[in-house]
Structure 1
């Protein structure tokens, strides 16, 4: 473990921080391991032939039911990253996501974090956490995804300090651009499949950024999942990468 990750982990352990705690500290629950701290994560730390499916939710909910039905049919797990504003506008959709899958945090209002102070970043993260909790009625995961995937070492350190790992992606399918900006189902599938590899993180979206209701990622999902199976990959749940205080203690004892 490098010195940055040691420092971040030590700080979290000492403070007892968990994401969304109203006063900044509470009893420690499942949290990111040291391997997910100290930098943005664009590929999971595994050599297994598995990949993770993730979906951002920042616009409308046009593709939510289709995506959830496809995942349910195949008994596969995904992680959804709603913004706080999305959670307030579409609580039913967030509740449906959280009933079957893990929920991450995608900020409250989707700003560029590069332009924010540490205090403003914290408010964005905590407001989103409260909105997601209220909509879903469940505990969000300690995973944060930066709006626009725009990260700096300082902004990553800020979200790490709040107890979150910065989960980005290996590839974005770009389905959110829609047909009007040159995307097709075929191109969405191609972008996803080209990124396959151990620990790959695939980013998709459940809505349309253009407001036309055409969600190419939802349309392409069956073909992407067919390719996952055909190429011998499994789908891993990001929740598998969380650790508890007890498991880390046991690891330290056995080290």
Structure 2
């Protein structure tokens, strides 16, 4: 009888021990699974290290290439910077507003004259009048400024800086403005850009058509230039 008593007691102890072991290893479905590593913490986005190129477009007498340039930049999601004359904004106010959606716009004087050849007062009037035109359309041009033909004087440079502008030149002129009548082609433009492509290159193009032959070489070459520049490992930024 005593043997039976101790046998039953041993069975109770073993059963309780097994239950305790099962409780120790049991994991609630609501608890983290210890057999898996925790989810990695999200990391900050990597800083872009590829060199950049800046597309810039000057506007003058007409808007011949605007629609195509606008559509290409939108489709490719590429920013650019646009330097507009006062006359262009007066003639094509809706184009001016649309271009601002694609990138900053800047002051390219009122009528694209050689400022260095004008009296100081006349030259500064070209700049200030363009500001007035832009303001009438609800547009802001500062701090972007480009001298027509890249021609400036120390006095004019001081004037624009004192008035909140920074002058931007260019490192590559596509020369598409010369037109097909001067023998220019899309291939010429592509080769010209490829030869001078470098980090922080500023490419000068034009929004209008050639007044003689009506060609829009810069607009026509733009999709090819984008492919060439990307293939060379560059990204696009606005100034």
Please tell me the TM-score bracket, short chain as reference: 0.7 to 0.9
Q: Structure 2: where are the runs of 5+ without partners?
A: 1-48
C-alpha RMSD of matched pairs (Å): 1.6
Offset of 1:155 from its aligned partner? 2.3
TM-score by length of 1: 0.71
For the residue of structure 1 that corresponds to 2:109, the secondary structure is coil
For the residue of structure 1 that corresponds to 2:70, the secondary structure is helix
Cα distance in 2 for partners of 1:99, 1:190 equals 30
Matches within 5 A, 1:84-103: 84-103=86-105
Matched, 1:216 2:204: no
For the residue of structure 2 that corresponds to 1:62, the secondary structure is coil
Count of equivalent residues: 191
Displacement over 6 Å in runs of 4+: none
Tell me the residue number matched to 1:116: 118
Cα distance in 2 for partners of 1:178, 1:59 equals 14
Cα distance in 2 for partners of 1:89, 1:65 equals 15
For the residue of structure 2 that corresponds to 1:210, the secondary structure is coil
Cα distance in 1 for partners of 2:187, 2:136 equals 37
For the residue of structure 2 that corresponds to 1:81, the secondary structure is strand
Offset of 1:63 from its aligned partner? 0.6
1:66-116 Cα shifts (integer Å, max 9, x gaps)? 001101111110011110011111112111111332101100011111112
Offset of 1:229 from its aligned partner? 0.7
For the residue of structure 1 that corresponds to 2:205, the secondary structure is strand
Tell me the residue number matched to 1:56: 58
Question: Larger Rg: 1 or 2?
Answer: 2
